[in-house]
Amino acid sequence: MELNNQNSFGIGEGELIEIIYELPLPMRLDRWLVSKRPEQSRARIQHFINSGLVLVNYKTAKAKTPLKNGDNIQIWMPPPEPLIYLKPEKMDLNILFEDEHIIVINKQSGLIVHPAPGHKSGTLVNGLLFHCKNLPGINGKLRPGIVHRLDKDTSGCMVVAKSQEALVNLQKQIKEKIASREYIAVIHGAPNSEKGQIVGNIGRDKLNRLKYKVVEETSGRYACTYWKLEERFGNYSLMSFKLDTGRTHQIRVHCAHINHPIVGDPLYGRCKKLPCKLDGQALHAIKLGLIHPINGKEMIFESELPLDFQKLLSVLKVK
């Protein structure tokens, strides 16, 4: 339960949030705060606690402080940090839907979502900052408004939050599997059945830091991908995928793990001559389902396949 109260910190501008802990069993302060404020990383929450910006029963606390039912927790959220070097850039965005709270786009292949070392410009975030004037500051310095990511060479549906309230709600929908994401891809070979699931923890490849791989259950992060065979084309297959988890490169790693890598994948694919030229791997986020974070309306978005993906399917159907 969130309450309104005067600022007990006396620090100046910012947002004071006061919450009553209502769970019957104890829980670490930092873990509980991450569950309540999913837009903040655990490291950032711990920084808030260590900086004295979190009070439990009006006293400073530690990250490992166990919370009891009825405890009063106050969090002083500092003002959003400025976007240090991000510059708005005019960019052609394929917008599927937009209102004052969210924007849904069909991301093109080859577009990096957010800045990183070596990529300070030309990203989707740069384009969004030009298009959405009120976006800066939401969700940290380098990922304003970003709810979920698509790899650089993966195209398709993405939702971006235009307000803090929308961001928190949408991230919760992703975490609790309320939002749904469906992908379509062309793979090498064909599976032995019509549908199934791939379960395998995913961790970073120690021999190539750019890659991920399926690792033992005692390491990495749990990952589950549901798949369905849509159509066979000789040595290739059209597949649809639904994510139960959202790990980095998940579909690409899982497909490579079962020896059916995605066609055109530069990291996990086979070094074979492709049926036609592709701008990226033949993987497209074709459908996105969510509940509007403000009005509660159920929404489903579908995005058109890129032209090179359409050409690939046409070539395979002729063979």
**151 a catalytic residue:** yes
- For 201-217, what is the HEC assignment? CEEECCCCCCCEEECCC
14 backbone φψ class: left, alpha, beta (φ>0; ψ -120 to 50): left
Token output for 121: 């410009």
Work out the angle at residue 246's Cα, subtended by the Cα atoms of residues 208 and 167, and round it to the nearest 5 degrees: 120
DSSP-based three-state secondary structure for 5:
coil
- Non-local (6+) Cβ contacts of 174 within 8 A are 147, 148, 246
Counting Cα atoms < 13 Å in the Cβ hemisphere of 156 gives 25
Asked whether the beta carbons of 75 and 17 are under 8 A apart, the reply is yes
The neighbouring-strand residues paired with 226 are 197, 242
DSSP-based three-state secondary structure for 290:
strand
Among candidate residues 30, 71, 151, 153, the one labeled active-site is 151
Asked whether the beta carbons of 199 and 281 are under 8 A apart, the reply is no
Residues serving a catalytic function are 151
